[in-house]
Structure 1
Amino acid sequence: MISTHILDTSLGMAAKDVRVVLEKHDGLAWSVLSEDKTNADGRIVFNCPNVAGEYRLTFDIVDYYKAKGQESFFLNTPVSFRVTDVNRKYHVPLLLNPYGYSTYRGT
């Protein structure tokens, strides 16, 4: 299972309605597995097979800040990671503000 949670640290609140695309690398190119928008709590749980490999989440943050009428520096935020243990959850949170972001492997 792959999931994410976005917190807008400039507001101290969850970032809702952020479009996020989940892709898997097949050795040659990225293929889209799923696409969704964060819920009111800033979360998405992707319905995808438990398969080892290289994955990428791309957070469409420019539209999030445009909807708020706020300028931002980053257009989108791609986060690539490796799934090795298919028996565990992979939670990839994003801490976001208009001029920066950070991420980590959560639980």
Structure 2
Amino acid sequence: MNLSTHVLDTARGEPAGGVLVHLYRWSGDDWIGVAQGRTGTDGRLHSWAPEPRWCRGTYRLCFDTAGYFGLGAFFPEVSVVFVVTDAWRHLHVPLLISPYGYSTYRGS
């Protein structure tokens, strides 16, 4: 499986470049850090470091929105929890952000 994300700033109408994203996996009693990356100028996260080893389970993407909007960010972090049932399948999790709101969905 591979995972991609795309962060769009809906208030500015353009990609959100430079957003730090952390990936975690639920281990049964705590979240374990798996990988991290930063969106490019096109708002897309092109590569994870280190490259994750995928398995079924529950994962969490944490987007550092305070790093993008600044210290006064109303939502300083956006966490998106999702479940991987097929480790071979490509998943795309886009995030639409603005200073006072966000939304996400399962993309293709």
TM-score, structure 1 as length reference: 0.91
Task: After TM superposition, give the deviation of residue 57 of structure 1 in Å.
Answer: 0.2
Q: Which amino acid aligns with 1:61?
A: T
Is 1:57 aligned to residue 67 of structure 2?
no
State how far apart, in whole Å, the 2-side matches of 1:27 and 1:35 are.
Answer: 21
User: Deviations for 1:30-68, whole angstroms, at most 9, x for unmatched residues?
Assistant: 0111111111111114331221100000000011011xx
Runs of 4+ in 1 over 6 A off after TM superposition: none
Calculate percent identity across the aligned residue pairs. Answer: 44
Task: After TM superposition, give the deviation of residue 101 of structure 1 in Å.
Answer: 0.1
SS state of the match for residue 43, structure 1?
coil
State how far apart, in whole Å, the 2-side matches of 1:83 and 1:72 are.
Answer: 30
In 2, are the aligned partners of 1:17 and 1:40 still within 8 Å (CA)?
A: yes
SS state of the match for residue 68, structure 2?
helix
Which sections of structure 1, spanning at least 5 residues, go unmatched? none
RMSD: 1.3
Task: After TM superposition, give the deviation of residue 71 of structure 1 in Å.
Answer: 4.2
Which sections of structure 2, spanning at least 5 residues, go unmatched? none
Q: How is 1:1-107 mapped onto 2 (pairs within 5 angstroms)?
A: 1-44=2-45, 45-46=47-48, 47-66=51-70, 71-107=72-108
State how far apart, in whole Å, the 2-side matches of 1:4 and 1:106 are.
Answer: 9
Task: After TM superposition, give the deviation of residue 72 of structure 1 in Å.
Answer: 2.8
Q: Which has the larger share of strand?
A: 1
TM-score, structure 2 as length reference: 0.90
